[in-house]
Chain A
Amino acid sequence: MAEEIPRGKWQRGLTGSKTAARMSRKALKYLARKPFLTEEKRQEERKALNRENAVLLFEGLSLLRGTALKMAQLLSMELDIFPPEITKELQKSYHRVPPINRALVRKTMQNALGKPPELIFEAFEPTAFAAASLGQVHRATTRDGDRLAVKIQYPGIRETIQNDVQLMRSVLRPLPEYRMIVPAIEEIETRLLEETDYRRELENMAFFKERLRMDRIIVPAPYGDYSTDTVLSAEHVSGLTLNEWLNTGPDRRKRDRLAQTLHDLFIFGLYRLHRIHADPNPGNFIVNGDKKIGLVDFGCVKRFDPEFVALYGELPQTALQGGRSDYMRLLKALNIAGPAMAPEVEDHMFKVFHETGQWLGKLYQEEYFDFKTNPDFIAAGKKMMARTFELRKHMDINTNFIFLHRTRYGLLRLFEQMGARVSFRNPYEYS
């Protein structure tokens, strides 16, 4: 790595405020010119401003790397939070933590478990076989011969996250969307801190191991004796990651079956367990012998209130068959629409959400939805989401939606990539 990551808060503060200062200057420039612009020109200027801000924001975040980028990536997935200009810039971002070299692996294991790896395991591979969010994964064998995947976290990552989040706030404050973004940032901070607490992940894994009883899903067994808050050991699941598996050219039938399994997994988690695996990264799905899916990385698990789940389940049916009053009642109950809105705002909101509902409803219209014959489905959805975004002044974000949408959208993208045919109908939403 040629460039050092600016770590101390002091130094990050410098790069952070640099971005903020530059953004404010742009905003001032726009405000100064505002009175002299026609409405049309104003829209154009506004767009240009967003675009410039996005570029600046991205430059600032790239300097920060690490967690800040992880957060940028998460925010960028929330299509309805950032305007398209900003989203486009952010989607270029990727997350990279510094690799942990062999000397540092030993040190980290020693700190966490009190002994270097060779005294803990029968065998331990000093070179990682996979990258994990904010860490990396090594293969190991216990003295009893069990094969494990051992995840190790880069030291000091939690402290860095907290500093980064504070900086993200100051970087984003000049954005007109700041008010909207705050709850999202808070939600993401909570989730990131949870993601770096491996003890919690171990508990999540144990929960799913016990409760998620699906024939085609493998949940690895957690190994608490070899785990701490920075080291996590679990049964090693053999197989190919979803992307690797797709590259082997599996036939249509196999792809459909796997996509269906992923969807069923989501529905089971949401409606039966009120808890979902909220990180549908293809690297987290290990295809085992064409039929089964091993689920790894329980760092990002989202829990929901039963009340929210019940309301959410009504959405597809209401969007497809309900009238305006049903729909508005549901949007208000979900806190998407405010309790008292001007009639013209409500008109507009209903129109936009109705169209979005119609779009989502397509998934349920027939017994099966085929992504191969609907190649523009997600593209159309993006446009729809951009329109919902225009309503942001009148909306509050229900934070439950952030990770729910991220998961659902992530899955739809995977299905599209797989060119799969999936039955979305289920007894909880629409059948």
Chain B
Amino acid sequence: MKISEDQKRENRKKILRSAVGAITEKGMKGATMREIARKAGLGDATIYNYFPTKEAIVYAYYEAQLDVSVERLRSIAGFNEFSLQEQLQAFFETQLDLFLPDREFVDVSFRAITFSLTHDYQYLKPIRKRFFRIISDLFEAAIEVSEIPDQVFLELTYHFFWDYYVGLIFYWLRDRSNQFQDTTILLDKSLDLAVALMKAGVVNKVLDMASFLFRHHIIDRLDMIKDRVEIVHKVKRQFMGGGDGGRDSQG
């Protein structure tokens, strides 16, 4: 049976909603694909046409929320006139607003997804990619209108904001204040600080200093380090019982 793209999108949405419900009630381990499928009104096998695992559904939820945030930000009147700080702040607040009804689900699942280092990384990648695209849009616009000076290693800044995002959500999950206003205040103050640092070009200055140190002190010693590296490799080769000790065989 062939179903339309619209129907597919609708089913995906239903699966995400039912997964949030099932995982909130039973936890990551307790919820089963079968239960999620039934709650979404799909056949026990059909669900696998959409997602291969429970984890994949969870990752898809976070991806989808990033997409919804972008739509919401677009609907704010005069958003393009906001300052960089206001835009970032509105973005993070929108994310938290979207997470609010699913707070318990986020509490259960967020740690699992952000700290998974091994095979799940392939799932995390699209989330990070979406996140970086949003952040880089905002930054590039800010640099274009000279709101902040051009930043060296802009990539690093984006990575910093990813870590910030993860940290913020953990803070929010532990926040016990009325309407989570402590998170709102933290967000306001920390972004104020971060944007002030960027405006002052602090990152650029730190890198200037680092590159000076690197050129004048590190390069001189590179030869020395090279010798040491050789020694280490020799020892390792001996220890592993010969062979190509320089390379990781699992590659």
Interface residues of B in 179-193 (CB under 8 A from A): 179, 181-182, 184-185, 188-189, 192-193
A102-B83, A118-B77, A155-B185 known; 15 new pairs, CB 8 Å cut-off, are A1-B196, A5-B189, A101-B83, A101-B86, A101-B89, A102-B78, A103-B85, A103-B87, A108-B184, A110-B97, A111-B179, A111-B184, A118-B76, A155-B181, A156-B182
Please state if B90 and A106 are interface contacts (CB–CB under 8 Å): yes
Q: Contacting B189 at CB < 8 Å: which of A4, A102, A116, A126?
A: A4
Cα A2 to Cα B189 in complex, Å, equals 10
Please state if B181 and A111 are interface contacts (CB–CB under 8 Å): yes
Q: Which residues of A contact B182 (CB under 8 A)?
A: 156
Please state if B86 and A102 are interface contacts (CB–CB under 8 Å): yes
Interface string of B142-167 (1 = CB under 8 A from A): 00000000000000000000000000
Cα A2 to Cα B97 in complex, Å, equals 29
Cα A116 to Cα B179 in complex, Å, equals 15
Interface residues of B in 57-102 (CB under 8 A from A): 76-78, 82-83, 85-87, 89-90, 93, 97
Whether A103 contacts B90 in the complex (CB less than 8 A), given A110-B97, A155-B181, A156-B177, comes out as: yes
Please state if A2 and B196 are interface contacts (CB–CB under 8 Å): yes
Number of chain A residues whose Cβ lies closer than 8 Å to a Cβ of chain B = 21
Shortest CB-to-CB span from B172 to chain A, Å, is 13
Shortest CB-to-CB span from A150 to chain B, Å, is 16
Confirm or deny: A96 has a beta carbon within 8 angstroms of a beta carbon on chain B.
no
Q: Which residues of B contact A116 (CB under 8 A)?
A: 76
Cα A110 to Cα B182 in complex, Å, equals 15
Cα A422 to Cα B95 in complex, Å, equals 59
Q: Which residues of B contact A159 (CB under 8 A)?
A: 177
Write the residues of chain B forming the contact surface with A, with a CB cutoff of 8 angstroms: 76-78, 82-83, 85-87, 89-90, 93, 97, 177, 179, 181-182, 184-185, 188-189, 192-193, 196
Shortest CB-to-CB span from A107 to chain B, Å, is 5
Interface residues of A in 111-162 (CB under 8 A from B): 111, 116, 118, 126, 155-156, 159
Shortest CB-to-CB span from B85 to chain A, Å, is 7
Q: Kindly report which residue of chain B lies nearest to residue A100, judged by CB atoms.
A: B188
Shortest CB-to-CB span from A202 to chain B, Å, is 20
Cα A278 to Cα B225 in complex, Å, equals 74
Confirm or deny: A173 has a beta carbon within 8 angstroms of a beta carbon on chain B.
no
Cα A106 to Cα B184 in complex, Å, equals 11
Q: Which residues of B contact A101 (CB under 8 A)?
A: 83, 85-86, 89, 188
Q: Which residues of A contact B93 (CB under 8 A)?
A: 103, 106-107
Cα A319 to Cα B97 in complex, Å, equals 63
Please state if A104 and B189 are interface contacts (CB–CB under 8 Å): no
Q: Which residues of B contact A156 (CB under 8 A)?
A: 177, 181-182, 184-185
Cα A95 to Cα B179 in complex, Å, equals 27
Q: Kindly report which residue of chain B lies nearest to residue A118, judged by CB atoms.
A: B77
Q: Contacting B184 at CB < 8 Å: which of A98, A107, A126?
A: A107
